[in-house]
Amino acid sequence: MYRIKVYYSLAMILLLSGTMLAGDIKINFSTSNINDARKLASQEGKLIFVDFYADWCTPCKWMEQTTFADEEVVKTLNGNFIAVKANIDEAEGYDLKNAFEVRYLPTMLIFNSEGQLLDRVEETLSPRKLLELLEKYNAPEHKKVVKYDFNTSPTQAKRAQSESMKQTASEYTKYFDEPQKNDVFRVQVGVFQRHEGANEMVKTLQQLFVEQVTVTNELKNGVPVYKVRLGQFTTQSEAENFKNTLKNEYNMIGIVI
């Protein structure tokens, strides 16, 4: 009986220790500005991950509690990225939001080690989806160690890095403001004020259809809105046909986006 109690106690200690250790694993989000992140990335040969959020943003809180708490996500970001969290309600985050025309939350940006923008995501991501995104760019060609030239002072190098990031923001803003031709068409079938409502509809759609289901977030009068979209079509006519099928066979009203 004594041995059983000892083994049980040891097992409980190990279990609790493991739980505490797992809970201590966190993403090393940098509090530095984007130019400091750029410098670190170039020195360490890492990518840059920027997460835009606000304290009032419900999907941002959901990602904080689930996606950013996932062990594999934490390991991938800490090992290969300089991670920056930008609160749009604070001065530095607000300036960064304006520089990159951030209009929806959450928004995530990925840069290579040289400060060039690789991708922009404007939706809530599960741990699996974020890992897929991170691994997509976690490649040697995007991670280069940049060393200062003997004839370049650190001040000059920092100024050049700053100009590089400004140029990246300027180029992206120009692209973002130009009318873009749709490469993918989807059918929007629901708009919700609560994230939970959107999730319920997603579960239902996934049981009925093989088409991809996505949720996008937008701010309307300062309030987040969740839009559920179905399918991924290369032409508008295909999307229109699918929309008609939804109406005729499932009595479901949608609009092509």
pTM for the full predicted model: 0.53
What phi and psi, each to the nearest 5 degrees, are found at residue 32? -75, 165
More confident position, 196 or 182:
196
Per-residue pLDDT of 128-138, as tens digits, reads 999 999 999 99
d(CA 51, CA 71): 18
Per-residue pLDDT of 62-79, as tens digits, reads 999 999 999 999 999 999
Residue 32 confidence class, pLDDT cut points 50, 70, 90: low
pLDDT at 241: 93
pLDDT at 109: 93
Residue 236 confidence class, pLDDT cut points 50, 70, 90: very high
Q: Which CATH superfamily is domain 185-256 in?
A: Sporulation related repeat (3.30.70.1070)
**How big, in percent rounded to 5, are the helix, strand and coil portions of the chain?**
50, 20, 30
CA distances from 175 to 86, 164, 180, 248, 256 (A): 22, 17, 8, 39, 23
pLDDT at 24: 59
Domain with CATH 3.30.70.1070 in the chain: 185-256
Domain with CATH 3.40.30.10 in the chain: 27-177
Strand pairing report for 81-87 and 29-30: parallel
pLDDT at position 11 over 60: no
Q: CATH for 27-177, among 3.40.30.10, 3.30.365.10, 1.10.287.70, 3.90.470.20?
A: 3.40.30.10
Q: Token pair for residue 85? A: 């969290």
- In sequence order, which residues have a C-beta less than 8 Å from that of residue 198 and are 6 or more positions away? 190, 192, 215, 226, 227, 228
What phi and psi, each to the nearest 5 degrees, are found at residue 110? -125, 125
Residue 221 confidence class, pLDDT cut points 50, 70, 90: low
pLDDT at 164: 47
